[in-house]
Amino acid sequence: MKRKKIAYLFYLIMILAGFGLVTQLFGNTRGFLTSMFMMLGFAVAIFALLYFLVNRSRGSSDEMKKYKQAVKQSKSKYNQAAPKKPAHVPTINKKAATARKGKKRPTHLRVIEGNKSKEKDRATF
């Protein structure tokens, strides 16, 4: 019940404000437009002041410059365009091509040969 009263009060205030704007517009047009432009000017001035204060406090710190440089390097490294294929592609034996695909080894791993026969069997200790 209390919410309905608040809603009716809100609607009544909105209707009175609209009525006041219309009467001010038709009764004192020059004063109405002057006050509207002044409010708009103050709003823009306050917004600009806050915007520049916030941006200056953030600023372009040394860390931000380093971050932007790192992003630029990363993009140049990972966003390279795919190389164009040559017009003439030599024919490859299909069996050899499929055999190589199945047994591809990771390039970052390699086998180190050592003297395994000379080592002691550690399981017997």
What percent of the chain clears pLDDT 90, i.e. is strictly above it?
A: 34
The predicted pLDDT at position 41 comes to: 97
Q: Do the beta carbons of residue 56 and residue 63 sit within 8 Å?
A: no
112: DSSP letter: -
How many angstroms separate the CA atoms of 101 and 109, rounded?
17
How many angstroms separate the CA atoms of 32 and 25, rounded?
6
21-50: b (≥16 Cβ within 10 Å) or e: eeeeeeeeeeebeeeeeeeeeeeeeeeeee
The predicted pLDDT at position 11 comes to: 95
Most confident option among 18-27, 58-67, 82-91, 109-118: 18-27
